[in-house]
Structure 1
Amino acid sequence: MKVLITGGAGYIGSTIAACCSDSDITPVILDDYSKGLREFSQPYANYEGDIADVSLLQCIVSEHPDIDAVIHCAAKIVVPESVSVPLDYYENNVAKSITLLRELSRLGVRRFILSSTASMYEAGDDYMVDESGAVAPQSPYSASKWMLERVLRDFAATGAMNSIALRYFNPIGADPSMRSGLQDPQPTHALGKMIEAYRSGGAFTVTGVAWPTRDGSALRDYVHVWDLARAHVAALQKFDEVIAQSEVAGFDVINLGTGTGTTVFELANAFGDATGKPLEVQTAAPRLGDVVGCATLTAKAARLLAWNAELSIADGVKDSLAWAEKLPAVLHRE
């Protein structure tokens, strides 16, 4: 099996590529390197360019006519930035993806896996959701993902392309073999900020402490990036089986998570336990686009993909710290 991974030089895409390779699936990488690292794509056939570059897509498929599926990881993902520049997010995450879909379909590719987001859900009273939960995007980022899912659903109804959207929560960790990890030395997500504070000797800021959760901080479902990669591989391997059982013709949605909600304060405590040194914590108002959050029930992923998260928050902290030590040398080689 051969798979085209858009955004395959990024944090999640590169981890998926490594997991595919370990599973005897051949990855082909397409990335514009606006965020991704060239080193991550070097072990594989790789192409530099935009997902909406029709000539480039034609070149890739002509050189790899045996591509069986696409995993779409090329997206802008920073929530506060999406609030500031929403048109950039709708252009990149929706408009360009439509061009990608149209051309891939014309070239005969019929399987599409979207690396989507669970941030589009409206949290219920217990802050747990499943695939039937109400959708109410609170930022242009999550709205752009929901819009693309609707595009995929409608396109699937024509018979031109079958699609699976994998909605997941907050990735942590790195490839346990340290082939790749978070490439941004100044990340915006909670665990990255904790590592930054830990290494600088400064304080970690919890943004928002008046949410209706058990300790006032936002609730998240932190899932190890390697577990996410395993789920994408399972979706590739079981793609036709999943689609055959889908309630909507040619389209299905599957949530990925640990099934356990963790607050930001609890993550900070776990970080301190993993390092042996309590993390200094300060608080601030929520960022633009922040939401209380939720965690997911995982029965559907277990049933359709035979997948459950296997790695712990402690594993995620440990692998994130190990990767943070390696990252400066990787960036120097870039």
Structure 2
Amino acid sequence: MKVLIAGGAGYIGSTVASACSDAGIDVVVLDSLVTGRREFVADRPFYEGDIADSPLVDRIFAEHPDIDAVVHCAALIVVPDSVADPVGYYRANVAKSLDFVEHLLRNGCSRMVFSSSAAIYGAEPDLTVTEDSALDPQSPYARTKAVCEGMFADITATRPIRVLSLRYFNPIGADPRMRTGLQLRRPSHALGKMIEAYEEKTPFPLTGTDFPTRDGSGIRDYIHVWDLATAHVAALQRFDAVLERGSLAINLGTGTGTTVRELLDAFNSVADEPVAAVELERRPGDVVGAYTRSDRARRLLGWEPRHSVAEGIRHSLEWAKVRDKVLTS
């Protein structure tokens, strides 16, 4: 099997590419390098450019006519940036995805795995979400993912292409072999802030302690990026058995979620120096959170997460130490 990975020089896409290669799947990468890194594609056939670039996509398929499927990871993903620039986000994530699908149809590619987001859901009262939960995206970024899924469903209803959408929340960790990881030195998510507190020997700001969760702190669905990557591989390998026509969404998650307090406890279980917490009031916009049920992934893909949150933290810490050796700037 050979796959084209759009966005394959980014954090998720490059890890998916490594997992594919490890599974014996040939990989071709298309990435604009707006956020992706050239270092992550040094050993793979690589095309620098945009998914909306018709001549470039045509050239890729002309030079690799044996491409069996596409993994679509190309997107802008920073929520605050999407609030500040919704036009740019809808253009990059929706309009260009529409162009991309048109290019795939023209080149006879009938299988696409779409790297989507569980941020499109509204949480159930028990804070879980299934594939049947109501959609209630709360940011322009999340809405672009929901719009794309709806667009793909409409297209697959009448055109010769099928789309599997994989929905997930919060990836953490790095390739266990340290080939790839987060590009940013200072990621803004909770784990990034814990690593920052660890490195600077300062307390971690725990904002919000009165949420309706098991310990009062917000809850999130942290999933190891390698588990995400292997789920994409399983989706490729089982594509035809899972989806005969149309489109289908599959959740990827832990099934239990992790509170911020539990994340800090897991961090301190693997760090050589513990990080203390300072409890603060909720910030404007802070929400209780949610996590996914992944029964469908287990049933259809034979997939379940193998790495614990503590392993994700350990690999994130290891990556933080080697990042500047892997990435030159």
TM-based fold match above 0.5: yes
- Write the distance in 2 (CA, Å) between the matches of 1:200 and 1:33: 31
Is 2:261 aligned against 1:261?
no
**Structure 2 CA distance for partners of 1:287 and 1:237, relative to 1, 3 Å:** farther
Aligned-pair distance for 1:88? 1.4
Is 2:271 aligned against 1:271?
no
Unpaired runs of 5+ in structure 1? none
Is 2:313 aligned against 1:317?
yes
Secondary structure of the structure 2 residue equivalent to 1:278: coil
Aligned-pair distance for 1:33? 1.1
- Write the distance in 2 (CA, Å) between the matches of 1:36 and 1:210: 38
Match of residue 121 from structure 1: 121
Aligned-pair distance for 1:214? 2.9
Secondary structure of the structure 2 residue equivalent to 1:13: helix
Match of residue 69 from structure 2: 69
Secondary structure of the structure 1 residue equivalent to 2:167: strand
Match of residue 238 from structure 1: 238
Letter in 2 for 1:262: T
Match of residue 146 from structure 1: 146
Aligned-pair distance for 1:22? 0.5
Aligned-pair distance for 1:236? 0.2
Aligned-pair distance for 1:210? 4.4
Secondary structure of the structure 1 residue equivalent to 2:14: helix
Q: Please say if residues 80 and 287 of structure 1, whose CA atoms lie closer than 8 Å, have aligned partners that are also in contact.
A: no
Letter in 2 for 1:286: R
Match of residue 86 from structure 2: 86
Secondary structure of the structure 1 residue equivalent to 2:68: strand
Aligned-pair distance for 1:107? 0.9
Aligned-pair distance for 1:119? 1.1
Unpaired runs of 5+ in structure 2? none
Aligned-pair distance for 1:215? 3.2
Q: Please say if residues 78 and 141 of structure 1, whose CA atoms lie closer than 8 Å, have aligned partners that are also in contact.
A: yes
- Write the distance in 2 (CA, Å) between the matches of 1:89 and 1:103: 20
Q: Please say if residues 198 and 274 of structure 2, whose CA atoms lie closer than 8 Å, have aligned partners that are also in contact.
A: no
State the identity %. Answer: 53
Aligned-pair distance for 1:121? 1.1
- Write the distance in 1 (CA, Å) between the matches of 2:212 and 2:70: 39
How far does the alpha carbon of each residue in 1:298-323 deviate from its partner, in whole angstroms, 9 at most, with x for none?
21101100001011011101111111
Match of residue 18 from structure 1: 18
Which deviates more, 293-302 or 232-241?
293-302
Match of residue 33 from structure 1: 33
Q: Please say if residues 207 and 287 of structure 1, whose CA atoms lie closer than 8 Å, have aligned partners that are also in contact.
A: no
Q: Please say if residues 205 and 284 of structure 1, whose CA atoms lie closer than 8 Å, have aligned partners that are also in contact.
A: no
Letter in 2 for 1:55: P
Q: Which runs of 4+ in 1 moved over 6 A?
A: none
Match of residue 52 from structure 1: 52
